[in-house]
Amino acid sequence: MQSATGIAPIETCRLCLRVFELADLDALAKINSDPEVMRYTGDGSPVSTEQTEKRLHAYMEHWRQHGFGLRAAINKHNHAFGGFCGLQFVAGTQEIELGFRLAKQ
The answer to whether position 5 is within a domain reads no
* Residue 1 within any structural domain of the chain: no
How high is the pLDDT of residue 1? 52
Q: Between the CA of residue 24 and those of 37, 56, 64, 72, 94, what are the distances in Å?
A: 17, 8, 17, 8, 27
CA neighbours closer than 13 Å in the CB half-sphere of residue 75: 11
Residue 105's pLDDT is 77
User: 65-105 pLDDT, tens per residue?
Assistant: 999 999 999 999 999 999 999 999 998 899 999 999 999 87
**pLDDT tens string 22-50:** 999 999 999 999 999 999 888 999 999 99
pLDDT category of residue 58 using cuts at 50, 70 and 90 = very high
pLDDT for 24 equals 98
pLDDT value at residue 3? 59
Q: Where are the beta strands (DSSP E) in the chain?
A: 10-11, 15-19, 70-75, 81-89, 96-102
The whole-model pTM stands at 0.89
3 falls within a domain: no
* CATH number of the domain that residue 96 is part of: 3.40.630.30
Q: Is position 57 within any domain?
A: yes
Number of compact structural domains in the chain: 1
Q: What is the pLDDT of residue 33?
A: 96
Q: Per-residue pLDDT for 2 more than 80?
A: no
Q: Which domain holds residue 85?
A: 10-102
